[in-house]
Amino acid sequence: EVAVLKTEEYGDDKLVTVSAKGFVHGAYVKDNWDCDDNYFDLLPGEEKTICVKGAAGKEIEIGAVR
């Protein structure tokens, strides 16, 4: 399971920092958002920050293929 650790608005965009307790294959931002990285793997305890363009003020959900 992917956990959102923090979000930060950056102009019109939103920076989203995520992590996972176990290995996650294919973490992605749900819905049709333009991201600087999508469908990425996470190692246990690894943190990753992605920029979701045009998402300031919006709720962002993160999913995983597995």
Q: Model's pTM, two decimal places?
A: 0.91
The pLDDT score that the predictor gives to residue 41 is 96
CA 11 → CA 42, 49, 51, distances in Å?
A: 27, 16, 11
pLDDT at 66 over 80: no
Residue 15 pairs in a beta bridge with 8, 51
The pLDDT score that the predictor gives to residue 11 is 97
Segment 3-50, tens digit of pLDDT: 999 999 999 999 999 999 999 999 999 999 999 999 999 999 999 999
